[in-house]
Amino acid sequence: MIKKQLLCCSAVLGLVLLSNLYSYNSAVSEEQAVLQQDTLSYSDFWLDDINQVRNSPYFASLNFADENLPLGDKQIEQKMMRYLKAYSRKQWSKLLHHKAQSDLPKVAAVLRRYGVPEDFKYIPLVESNLAHGTTSHRGASGYWQFMPSTARAFGLRVDNEVDERQHIEKSTVAAAKYLKSLYRVFNSWTLVAAAYNIGEGNLQRAISRQREDNYFKLKLNRETGSYVYKLISVKEIVEHPGLHRERSKALLADATSDAQEEDHKL
């Protein structure tokens, strides 16, 4: 009788263990499916937690024209992560790389010739997506989105017959001259980028009013306040296209390895 009871208990216990094992494996499979889905969509889930990456060598390397992102300010770090996440999405990456392959080398060559950091080659991507003939409602046009007066001031012909803002190399020469002139005023490439977006006078007034000359700590309008973050994000996606995918694959591999190890223990 006792043997029968023991056998019965053993059978029940075995069923419970099998049930738990099946539930565990199902959970693991579901988790892996979610991770795989994220991987296919460039897996920005790792960007959701700032604490995962804020002290990493990668995050410390983020810069624009060799001016590093100030670390230690969580608000700045979270803002940077937000724009990195937005520009890491698959549809953005395809668009950026398609434009970059054909036109960015031409832009970079002109900037080098005039002593302007190559990171400024990403301005046309942010401003116009390197699209020919793009014109804003205010009249800014071309690859660099020059206003007619600024374009003429830096040597471009803009009239009823010719608009050299639409010529990538000529407009880049004008942009390089303009950027150099801004650097003589602000002595900071991040401030030069901000001035390019908001205008020299507006930025000077903001600096004087706030008594602050660090772009990342200035309180600017939404567009200008995000401008350098966008440039850094575009730069990262163009220069390191596989970075986020590699990170996601590493996370997936770790999760799979852990699951297999637990499964083996059972």
Per-residue pLDDT in tens (0 to 9) along the chain, 266 residues: 544 444 444 444 444 444 444 433 433 333 333 223 333 233 443 445 566 667 778 888 999 999 998 888 888 988 998 898 888 776 665 666 777 788 899 999 999 999 999 999 999 989 988 877 788 888 999 999 999 999 999 999 999 999 999 999 999 999 999 999 999 999 999 999 999 999 999 999 999 999 999 999 999 999 999 999 999 999 988 888 776 555 544 444 444 454 445 444 44
> What are the domain boundaries of the chain?
40-253
DSSP 44-65: GGGGG-HHHHTTSHHHHT-EET
Asked whether 188 and 213 are in contact (CB, 8 A), the reply is: yes
Which residue has 């772009």 as its token pair?
Answer: 215
Cut 0.75: pTM above it: no
Tell me how many helices (H) and strands (E) the chain has: 13, 2
Class level of CATH domain 40-253: mainly alpha
Which residue has 């046009």 as its token pair?
Answer: 141
Q: Give buried/exposed letters for 222-259 (b at 16+ CB in 10 A, else e).
A: eebbbbbbbbbbbbbbbeebeebbebbeebbeeeeeeb
pLDDT at 92: 63
- Residue 32, classified by CB atoms within 10 Å of its CB into exposed (0-12), middle (13-18) or buried (19+), is middle
